[in-house]
Structure 1
Amino acid sequence: MTELIIIGAGPYGLSLAAHAEAEGLSYVLLGLPMHFWKEQMPQSMFIRTNPQFVSLSDPRELFTIQKFSEATNIPLSSPLPRPVFVDYAFWFAQQTAISITCELAADVSYNGEQYKVTGESGKEWSSEHVIIATGLQHFSFIPAPLSSLPDSRISHTYGKTDFSAYKGHKTAVIGSGQSAWEAAALLHLAGSDVELIFRSNAPNYSEEDNLISGQKLIDSAKQFYLYSDHQKQDIWKRPRKSSVAYFLKPFVEGKITMFPASQIVRTDILDNQAVLSFSNGNERSYDQIIAATGYQINVEKLPFLSPNLLHLVEKDPFTHRFPILNERFESNVPGLFFAGPLASHSHGPAFGFVAGIRAACTSIISYLSEKTKYRSERL
């Protein structure tokens, strides 16, 4: 039996493994390394976060992205190209000497004392501690009335890396955030007749270098949990206005037709086209619709958690979608931890980004290391 199983090999999973490795904990890291960043996102686009805030985490901060730049002579620019971030993550994994089992988890069950994790190959591992460090891949969200359109006419931005198939097609991108602007820009470059439709009155561009917003997220990573439940709920209730990285402005402004302040109230299929009806009475027809409508985190959507285990996990009383976590990122089920987006309701918005990595790693792995040492001393 291993001391720890980490599920998910993205930035959070790699960093958790680096901390576990440094502490001498036995662990299994399950996942396809950086698969979401490498295979499910357009590589011709950029990381919106300033390079100053995108480092993965090892205990002594020896392998930051700045050290990667020095070691490889790859310059860091803002915005940072996605392939550079992916290359950095693989360099980080190599430098920290972490072990990765390139296999997805198929099932996680709990017998009241320990967890059994079964991989897609059928191989099994047991441990008293499991960290769920997966990202957004299970949570793409298409709201009504868009969700009533057939799959042949609508798709989510998740997983879209090549827009060449849209050449010559009239395409609507629905959304006001980063993924909407990226999709619209790439569709335009691919030769699609693209229109951008969103509910807000105007685009909300972030500051040019994202330094202020990046630092705010870092600062909030350890502060948010200390707020009262009432304060946290007040924060989550506030309208969250989607923002777009400033560097995307020249890719879209003056090139793509925008329809701000547009509320879609109905969708239909007519003459083999998707017809969108708006609250002002207007209608527009498209060959394809791309929903850049974000993600809705829901622990129930994790396909590998067994129904019995899911039933045990206490969810927050407001959305009933997030696990309730303590200061160590542990759920009410002993030994079951969550890092990344699934931790964001308890620990704050920083954990939907790379900004929360170090706080999660130091909290979880330090606790497990102390627990293991205490047990060893008692034997």
Structure 2
Amino acid sequence: MSFNNANGGRQLTDLLIIGAGPYGISLAAHAKAHCLTYTLLGYPMHFWKHQMPQNMFIRTHPDSVYLSDPHESFTLLRFAAESGIDLPVPLPRPLFVDYATWFAARTGVRFTPEHVLQLSRTADGYEAVTEGGGVYTARHAVIATGLQHYSYIPDTYDGLPPGLVSHTFALTDFRPFAGKQVAVIGSGQSAWEAAALLHMAGSDAELIYRRDAANYREGQSGSELIQLGETFFDLPLEQKREKQVQPPGSAAAFLRPYVEGKIRETGNAVVQKAEAVDGGKLRLELSNGETRLFDHLVSASGYRIDIGRVPFLEQRLLELLEREDDGNGRYPKLDAHFMSSLPGLYIAGPLASYSHGPAFRFIAGVRKACRSIIPRIVRSMAHARSGSS
């Protein structure tokens, strides 16, 4: 794995890739294999390293966890074999980060480790300005960022002091909650993980959720989600709408021993009112008529994907982007090859999940995105060269 020097040069490359997680790394591997020049902007696997709890697991079976190169040569199974390790089930998150680092090294991916401050259009294509003052231009650009811009906390908690409420996003150190009473609101994987990690850190946690009871699911292979990613775009509209509806929250069955018998659970309840009270406490009024006092609340309320919340997109560029008819205009409209309404601007990952389906909220869509985007860019460049000759 190697790094580019951010020298601020304006050399025009074929491709800008914004986001250095699984999608960005895989796109770079495909670009390199197709002899495209590229700049991969972002800190390698930053979200996975620094904004997710490291002592928890990936719920998808290791057989369906991988990054993508053109020949599918550098798989998680190959990494395990070459590293002399047995892949545990479930898969620890740090092991996936190690795999991504190995993958990048084996495929020759090069990083420019800087955050992008602004992406804008130019006469030749697109320009990215970085935190270090670098200016990078390319004929094409791919936005391949993850969920970091979209964390959602319900309006019920508006007005609470910041010290009393957190979102599960970026909550990685639970030691400060030792000896404290903490409410975890939600019924999905992130709620159960947070509750388990709070208990392990010595806090008195309580899970509060609207379901009647916990919803545990056995380990998911991920193969069905991957297949859906391959076919979703061409489905009839009614089938797309059915697939786009997210199922009720569930937790992986491997979390059961971390929670059951250790953490209080209150089901069939919704927080109707939350207020700060004397002594730095938080008072919750629940729909079942009960009240609770806590030191802190953790909202496992998920994410609301919205391209308008991507901080580095120039306002003029945002205005020009055509949106999907999702009722809110939060998703960019993408074609079969993930290109937006702006020529040469492609979008992968969660922002593509309305056009291309729920696989793209996760790494299950990596292969489809790479095999669609990079060949399309190669063809468009060949067409441009033949037209100018």
Q: TM-score, normalised by structure 1?
A: 0.96
Q: Once structures 1 and 2 are overlaid, which stretch shifts more, 46-55 or 366-375?
A: 366-375
The runs of 5 or more residues in structure 1 that have no matched partner are none
1:218 aligns with 2:226: yes
Any idea what SS the aligned residue of 1:3 has? Answer: strand
The structural deviation recorded for 1:218 is 1.0
The runs of 5 or more residues in structure 2 that have no matched partner are 1-11
- Identity %, equivalent residues: 48
Letter of the structure 1 residue corresponding to residue 260 of structure 2:
E
For residues 181-330 of structure 1, the aligned pairs below 5 Å read: 181-207=192-218, 209-211=219-221, 214-236=222-244, 238=245, 240-271=247-278, 272-317=280-325, 318-330=327-339
Q: Once structures 1 and 2 are overlaid, which stretch shifts more, 13-22 or 137-146?
A: 137-146
Q: CA separation in 1, counterparts of 2:135 and 2:240?
A: 38
Instruction: Report the counterpart of residue 24 of structure 2 in structure 1.
Output: 13
Q: CA separation in 1, counterparts of 2:246 and 2:41?
A: 36
Query: Which residue among 332, 335, 349 is the counterpart of 2:344?
Result: 335
Any idea what SS the aligned residue of 1:152 has? Answer: helix
Instruction: Report the counterpart of residue 89 of structure 2 in structure 1.
Output: 78
Cα pair 1:42 1:160 within 8 Å, conserved: yes
- After superposing on structure 2, the runs of 4+ consecutive aligned residues of structure 1 that deviate more than 6 Å are none
Instruction: Report the counterpart of residue 5 of structure 2 in structure 1.
Output: none
The CA deviation string for residues 11-67 of structure 1, in whole angstroms up to 9 with x for no partner, is 000000000000000100000000110111111111111101111000011100011
Instruction: Report the counterpart of residue 379 of structure 2 in structure 1.
Output: 370
The structural deviation recorded for 1:117 is 0.8
Q: CA separation in 2, counterparts of 1:233 and 1:48?
A: 25
Q: CA separation in 1, counterparts of 2:171 and 2:223?
A: 30
Cα pair 1:148 1:267 within 8 Å, conserved: no
Instruction: Report the counterpart of residue 9 of structure 2 in structure 1.
Output: none
Cα pair 1:108 1:115 within 8 Å, conserved: yes
Letter of the structure 1 residue corresponding to residue 118 of structure 2:
D
Superposed CA RMSD in Å reads 1.3
Aligned pair count? Answer: 375
1:40 aligns with 2:51: yes
Instruction: Report the counterpart of residue 93 of structure 1 in structure 2.
Output: 104
Q: Once structures 1 and 2 are overlaid, which stretch shifts more, 93-102 or 224-233?
A: 224-233
The structural deviation recorded for 1:234 is 4.0
Cα pair 1:195 1:256 within 8 Å, conserved: yes
Q: CA separation in 2, counterparts of 1:59 and 1:196?
A: 44
- CA shift in 2, pair 1:345/1:239, >3 Å: closer
Instruction: Report the counterpart of residue 361 of structure 2 in structure 1.
Output: 352
Instruction: Report the counterpart of residue 140 of structure 1 in structure 2.
Output: 151
The structural deviation recorded for 1:233 is 2.9
Instruction: Report the counterpart of residue 103 of structure 1 in structure 2.
Output: 114
Letter of the structure 2 residue corresponding to residue 136 of structure 1:
L
The structural deviation recorded for 1:156 is 0.7
Letter of the structure 2 residue corresponding to residue 358 of structure 1:
R
Letter of the structure 2 residue corresponding to residue 152 of structure 1:
G
Cα pair 1:53 1:354 within 8 Å, conserved: no
The structural deviation recorded for 1:203 is 1.6
Q: CA separation in 2, counterparts of 1:167 and 1:195?
A: 14
Cα pair 1:181 1:248 within 8 Å, conserved: yes
Instruction: Report the counterpart of residue 13 of structure 2 in structure 1.
Output: 2
The structural deviation recorded for 1:239 is 5.8
The structural deviation recorded for 1:235 is 3.6
